[in-house]
Structure 1
Amino acid sequence: MVAVRPQDADAALSRIDPLRPVVLLFGPDAGLVRERAETYLRRAETGSSDPFGRVKLDGDEISGSPGRLVEEASTIALFGGRRVVSLRVGARNVLPAVEALLAAPPAEAVVVIETGDLKRGAPLRALCEGSPHALAIACYADGERDVVKLIDAMATEAGMSVERDARTELAGLLGGDRLASRGEIAKLLLYAQGETRITSQHVRAIVGDASSLALDEIADNALAGGGAPMADAYAKAMGEGMRPDVVLGAVQRALLALHQMRLQVEAGTAAERVIEGIRPAVHFRRKPLVERALKSWNTARLRTALLALDDALLGARRNAGLGPAIAERALLQLAIQARRGS
C-alpha cells in the first residue's frame, strides 16, 4: 500500500519514482492539488526536448473510452524522453481507465491524476493506495506553519523580509487554498515593491477584503456580547455605504458557523480545539471574541437567535428606509443575549 502521509507529500514528490509512474493527487485544497501536480509534471519533463511530450486529458472524455489512457501513456515520445500525461477527473467515472493503466503500467511515462476530495475507501483512492505502481497523496488546507513557510519563501525570493507581527497577521488571513494564498502574498509583495520589509500596515492595506474585515468585527462583537464596539463598527459600516441587509446576512452566516461549532462543543470537543480546527484559520485578533461567543451560547438559544435574525433581515429588505434601524436593533439584541448567556 502506497498512501503517502500529508507531512511526507513534498518529499515523495521531490523525485520521479520509475516504479510508481501513476500519481493521484486529491483533497479539499484544490489550489494545492493543482500546484503539486504542475510541479511534478514539470519535474517529469526535465531533460525532454519534445514540445508535445505532455498530454492533457479530460476525465469526462476518457470515461467512455477507458483504453485511451493506456494508449496515451504507452505512446513513445516523438523526440524521445519520458511521456507525461496529465489527467483531470471530472464528473464521470474514470475508474476503468485507471484500472487498465495500473494493470499494465507504462515503462517510460508519468501519469498525474488530479481530482477533488476523496474519502477513505472511495474507489479511485482505494485503487491507487492499494497498487504498487501508484502514489496516492492527499492535499489538505495549509496549517499555520505551512502558511508561514510559504510567506517566508516568497518574501525571500522577492528580496524582502517580513516583520513578525505582519507575518502573524498575514498567516491568519490565509490558508484555505494554496493558490489563493500565493496570489494574496504576490499581491502584497507587488504593493510593497521597492521596500525591504513587509509591515502590518502593508498587510492591512492590501490583503483581503476590507468590507469582510468590517463585517467580521460587527459579527464577532455582537455574538460575544460587545454592544458598544459592535455599535461603533456598525455605524462605521453604515457611514461607508454598506447595506444593512448585507450586514445582517453576514451575521447570520456567523451565527450558523457558531451553531456548528457549538454542536461540536456539546458533543465533547474542547472549545479551543474546535476553534483551532476552523478553516480558513481564525485570525489571532478575532480568537478572544470567538472563544467568548462560543461560551456564551448554546444550540437552543442559537436557533432562537437565527429565527429572530431572519425576521430582521426580511424586515430590513422590505423597509429600506427603516433598514439601518431594524438591523442595529437586531444586533444590539444579539449582544444583550450573549451577555446574558455568559
Structure 2
Amino acid sequence: MILSKRPDVERFLRDPAADIRAVVIYGRDRGVVRDRADQLANKLFERPDDPFDTAQLTESDLDSQAGKLEDELSALSMMGGRRLVRLRLTGEKGGPDKQAAEALTRHVEGQLNPDAFFLIEAGALGRDSTLRKVAEKAAGAAVIPCYEDEAGDLARLARETLAKDKVSLNGEALDLFVSRLPKERGVARAEVERLALYLGPGSGVVATPADLTDFLGVEPEASLGDAAIDAFGGRIGPAQAGLRRAAAEGEGGPAAVRAMGYHLGRLRRTLTLHKNGVDLAAAAKASGVFWKSEREFLRQARAWTLDQLLMVQAEVLAADKACKTSGSPDQLISERLALQIAGKARRLGL
C-alpha cells in the first residue's frame, strides 16, 4: 500500500490499519521522515524507546551481523505484547536495502514474530530499490514517500512547536518567519525552537513582525531593498550607501537593478489599484509592501504618477540590459540608475 497523498498519510498516522505489520517511510528530507516515523511509533507504542520492547538498528548493524535483523523480528517482547523493530537506512547501499526487503517479505507473510512491528526509515529510495519495490506490493506493508516541505507545512510546524512553549506569532509575523525558514525539516525545527527561546517559553507572547527584527537579522537582499526605497524617495546618499553595502555582502549590480525594478513594480501596482478605486493603504498592502516600509512607500505613492513610473521603467530595462553585457561595469550602472531615479524623485518634491 502506497500512501502519497497528504490526507491519506495523516489519516494513517492518526489511526494505523491493524493489518499492517511493516511501514517504510523514505525521502530526501530526513527530518520529515524522522517526524513521521516518531509520530507512528508514538501512536502504536506507549514507550517506543523502551529497550525491553524496542530494537534500534542501522545499516551498520546489518553489515556487521548477518541475520541480526530477522533475529530481532523473531524475538518476543520481554514484557509481553507488541515489539518495535526500528531500522534506519541511508538509502545509498544496496546490501542493507536487499536485506531489509527480504526480512520485510518474511515478516508480512507471518514467518517471524506476528506481534513485532517493523518500522523502516530510509533516505531517497530510487525506483530500483528492492526494498521499495517489495514494500509497495506487499499486502501487510505501507509505504510513505516524503517530499520537501511547502510553506503550509512549515507554518504548521512553527505554530505547533511554538504552542508547546505557550508562545505564538500573529499572521504577518508567521508569514515573515516562514518565508525565512530553510526547507529542510530538521534545520527548520531547530530554528523554531530557537525562536521559542528568544520569545520566552511560557510567556504567552503573541509576537509581531517588529518583535522578530533582531531575531531574523539583516540579509543582503534587505540592503538592496532599502537602497531601492531610498532611490525612489529621493535620498541619493543613503541609496548609494545601500548599494555599496549590498555589493560588499555579495549582491552585485544586476541584483540591485532588479531590486529597483521590483520597487517600481509595487508602486505601479499600487497606483493602478488606487486609480480603480482601492484605498491607497489597502492597495499598498495588496502589492506586498512590508509593514516596516509602509509609511515611506505611501509617501512615495502620493508623489509618483503612472506616467512618470513608465519613463523610469524604460531606464530600468536599459540598465538591466547593460548589466548583462559582457565586461560591463554593472556596479556603476546600478549606482547611476539609482542617481537618475533619486534625481527625478527630488524634482517631485520627495
- Whether contact under 8 Å (1:143, 1:175) holds in the other structure is no
Report the Cα offset of residue 180 of structure 1. Answer: 2.2
CA deviations on 1:32-89 (whole Å, 9 max, x unpaired) are 1111122223333316895332222122441576632221111112222322122121
Larger Rg: 2
Aligned partner (choices 195, 211, 224) of residue 202 of structure 1: 211
Output the CA distance in 1 between the equivalents of 2:152 and 2:129. 29
Flag the 1:121–1:330 CA change in 2: closer, same or farther, 3 A. Answer: farther
Aligned partner of residue 51 in structure 1, secondary structure: coil
Q: Which residue of 2 aligns with 1:176?
A: 183
- The aligned counterpart of 2:106 is 104
Residue of structure 2 in register with 1:266 after alignment: none
Task: Report the Cα offset of residue 206 of structure 1.
Answer: 1.4
Conservation of the 8 A alpha-carbon contact between 2:22 and 2:117: yes
Aligned residues: 272
Counterparts of 1:133-148 in structure 2, within 5 Å, are: 133-148=140-155
CA-CA distance at 1:100 after TM superposition: 1.8
Distance 2:337 2:133 in 1: 47
- Does the 8 A contact of 1:27 with 1:140 survive in 2? yes
Q: Return the offset for 1:136.
A: 0.9
Q: Within 2, Cα distance between the matches of 1:100 and 1:39?
A: 26
1:281 is matched with: none
Pick closer, same or farther for the CA change 1:196–1:221 going to 2, 3 Å.
closer
Worse-superposed segment, 50-59 or 23-32: 50-59
Q: Give the % identical residues.
A: 22
Cα distance in 2, alignment partners of residues 250 and 98 from structure 1: 51
C-alpha deviation, 1:248, in angstroms: 5.2
So what's the TM-score if we normalise by structure 1? 0.63
Give 5+ residue unaligned stretches, structure 1: 255-283, 287-295, 310-325, 336-342
Name the CA shift for 1:138/1:219 in 2 (closer, same or farther; >3 Å).
farther
| Letter of the 1:96 counterpart | K
Matched-pair contact (CA < 8 Å) for 1:227–1:332: no
SS in 1 for 2:86: strand
Cα distance between partner residues in 2 of 1:191 and 1:54: 36
In structure 2, stretches of 5+ residues that fail to align are: 108-112, 259-287, 291-315, 339-350
